[in-house]
Amino acid sequence: MDVKTIKEEINKVIEKYSLPTIEILDRELEIVDMLSERKELPQNILVALRRRFTEIMYSWINFLHSLIMPNPQSIISNKDAEAFSEKEKENIYKLMAELAKMTRESTSFEAKKGQPKEEAKFIRDNFSRFIEIKKELAELNKKVVEHWEKEIYSK
């Protein structure tokens, strides 16, 4: 599917539901690339946007979860977790809980189809907060990388 058509269709949804701009949505969700890999556009682009948003939040939840409760069978997970104090892990838990709440709210739309206004409101209400949370996630990831650098260069 061509990018121009995809952007036009996404923009129709954005305008109809007052969503963030296509530039912001695409930067954060890579929605244009995702949809261009398909043979045809989904029937409901709004649902595709919400689902993609949810997928990305789930990936961050998994990252945060591994920092506070590392898999005992994973050296990598355990080393990542060593970078944080118990107090920091409490803050990580709060971020994870906030993302978990958002994903559970999103998942509830799967059980109650046909609520586009509510789905759009979900995206509007949670997307800007997610952008703020991503700044904190970037700092956490930076700390993990720095911890690994110490591990590499201290030996």
What is the percent of the chain with per-residue pLDDT over 90, rounded to a whole number?
Answer: 85
Model pLDDT, residue 140:
97
Q: How many other C-beta atoms can be found within 10 angstroms of the C-beta atom of residue 1?
A: 14
pLDDT in tens, 121-137: 999 999 999 999 999 99
User: What is the tens place of the pLDDT at every residue in 34-84?
Assistant: 898 888 888 899 999 999 999 999 999 999 999 999 999 999 999 999 999
pLDDT at 155 over 70: no
Q: Delimit the domains of the chain by residue range.
A: 3-153
Alpha-carbon span 117 to 123, nearest angstrom: 10
- The answer on pLDDT for 1 being more than 80 is no
